[in-house]
Amino acid sequence: MIQSILFLIVSGLAVAAAYKGFSRVGRNIHLGKAEQIGGDSAERWRNVLLVAFGQRKMFKNWIPAVLHLFIYVAFLVTQVELIEIFVDGIFGTHRFFAPMLGGFYTFVISFIEILSVLAFVATIAFLMRRNVLGVTRFQKPELKGFPARDANTILLLEIILIIGVFCMNGGDKVLQTRGLEHYHATGAFAVSTWLGPALFGGLDNAALIGVERFGWWLHILTVFGFLVYLPYSKHLHILLAFPNTWYAKLSAKGKMENMPEIQKEVRIMMGLEQPDPEASNELPEFGANDVFSLSWKNIMDAYTCTECGRCTAACPANITGKLLSPRKVMMDVRDRAEEVGAAISAGKSTKAQYDDGKSLFDRITPEELHACTTCNACVEACPVLINPLDIILKMRRHEILTQSAGPGEWLPMFNAIENAGAAWAMSAERDAWNE
């Protein structure tokens, strides 16, 4: 009874803390502008199933893909055992489903144990890749500090979860062989049937019960800790990958979203079209300079970012030593959304009136934006269909069309187009040859 009450209290606190974190993320995503996203729902489901659930794009680099698959499948299947832990925690039972499911229960737990061993191997490999082998895409400046600690924290939590599983199952198997009441037979598990006696066979019954309960509480408390920490971590992608792939653009990657409006302004500027006399005299604002002028989907992209660095590793600008890192762009957008969201939440302003004198240009420099070749390599590389290029183009569009700024070497071309209707400055009118 005491354990059940304690379990309910801890569960309630964890759920409340997690709800607060996830609500913050939802609020920050909705700082962006509304964006209508249509298209074929069948193709969207295909993206969810193949890209988010099936991880198809991960397998362009098959070694980390297989290792990631071990952890991913273990995470999914372990939720079956987690359901039983919740039932046992609430009602004070022990292995509630074992008598009902019989041999199938033994198979499921054995499968979870095998996956846990594979996940343990993968976790060690990922820790080595990040901290010992020095994989290039994990050594970029944007990963210094919290991002590096965040990645290692999640991997260490994975190891703790696995330790909890085998302490719980290993202690349980030894207690079953001793015929203690409450620890009924569940059949031979694939790993803990031999690992349990090897590790804990010399302990007395009281110590064994302590080991089993330690593993049980260690596992569930780590799950709760993971749940509370998730909204602050890059591993939020395990949830957001599904809606993000659903809402990913289905149009051609090179399609410019507001090209008709831009073409109209350019034609008016060149005298090829007359402005609408009924239109507002105020100049339209193109592109985006802050999270408010990005779309909610752009900000969801930022929160979905796994920080894996595949986009940066594929970026030709970054490869040739330029400052642009598509991963950093996504991280900067997320950090700015966090900054703005925290200020609004603290009551310092409202979304409609917010102005702290800062913008995304304080985080993402023009030099980074100008280095982009718009080749879509980053978009193609992303395993969860994030589109860094969309944000880069919106910021470049704002810089050039709204701020009338841009690289010095581009300005003569803009002036020539405006004054002579041609990209190259010429003494004669562009169409003089026609005379």
Any residues with CB less than 8 A from the CB of 394 and at least 6 apart, and which?
287, 288, 293, 294, 298
Q: How far is CA 423 from CA 417, 418, 419, in A?
A: 5, 9, 10
Q: Which of 22-26, 81-85, 426-430 has the highest mean pLDDT?
A: 22-26
Q: Read off the pLDDT of each residue in 26-40 and give the average, rounded to a whole number.
A: 89
The third-level CATH classification (topology) of the domain covering 259-274+284-405 is: Fumarate Reductase Iron-sulfur Protein; Chain B, domain 2 (1.10.1060)
CB of 389 closer than 8 Å to CB of 325: no
pLDDT of residue 255: 75
Any residues with CB less than 8 A from the CB of 153 and at least 6 apart, and which?
229, 233
Distance CA 332, CA 364 (A): 7
Model confidence at 216, pLDDT cuts 50, 70, 90, reads very high
CB of 130 closer than 8 Å to CB of 105: no
Model confidence at 424, pLDDT cuts 50, 70, 90, reads confident
CB of 231 closer than 8 Å to CB of 21: yes
pLDDT of residue 251: 82
Q: Report which secondary-structure segment, H or E, holds 297.
A: helix 296-304
CB of 222 closer than 8 Å to CB of 157: yes
Token code pair at residue 42: 């069948």
Model confidence at 280, pLDDT cuts 50, 70, 90, reads low
Kindly report which listed range (171-180, 299-308, 334-343) carries the lowest average pLDDT score. Answer: 171-180
Please check the confidence at residue 421 and state whether its pLDDT lies above 90.
no
pLDDT of residue 282: 67
- If phi > 0 it is left, if psi is from -120 to 50 it is alpha, else beta; for residue 395 that is alpha
Distance CA 208, CA 234 (A): 37
Percent of the chain surpassing pLDDT 90? 58
Distance CA 13, CA 15 (A): 6
Q: What would the pLDDT profile of 59-101 be if each residue is shown by its tens digit?
A: 888 888 899 999 998 988 888 888 889 998 898 888 888 888 8
Using the Cα atoms of residue 192, residue 197, residue 202 and residue 203 in order, give the sign of their dihedral: positive
Distance CA 28, CA 181 (A): 52
Model confidence at 355, pLDDT cuts 50, 70, 90, reads confident
CA angle 224, 241, 25 (to 5 degrees): 60
- Residue 33 DSSP SS3: strand
pLDDT of residue 278: 67
Q: Read off the pLDDT of each residue in 220-239 and give the average, rounded to a whole number.
A: 93
Please check the confidence at residue 430 and state whether its pLDDT lies above 70.
no
Identify the bridge partners of residue 295 per DSSP, sorted by sequence position. 33
Q: Greater confidence, 17 or 266? A: 17
Distance CA 324, CA 306 (A): 18
CA angle 86, 121, 60 (to 5 degrees): 105
Any residues with CB less than 8 A from the CB of 304 and at least 6 apart, and which?
236, 237, 240, 241, 244, 384, 386
pLDDT of residue 319: 94
CB of 322 closer than 8 Å to CB of 365: no
Crossing angle (nearest 10°) for helices 259-269 and 411-420: 60
Distance CA 278, CA 255 (A): 29
Kindly report which listed range (145-154, 274-283, 307-316) carries the lowest average pLDDT score. Answer: 274-283
Distance CA 62, CA 11 (A): 38
Token code pair at residue 129: 């890749």
Phi, psi of 33 (to 5 degrees): -70, 160
Helices and strands in the chain, H and E counts = 18, 0
How close are the terminal C-alpha atoms of the chain, in Å? 98
pLDDT of residue 281: 64
Q: What is the DSSP letter of 349?
A: -
Phi, psi of 266 (to 5 degrees): -65, -40
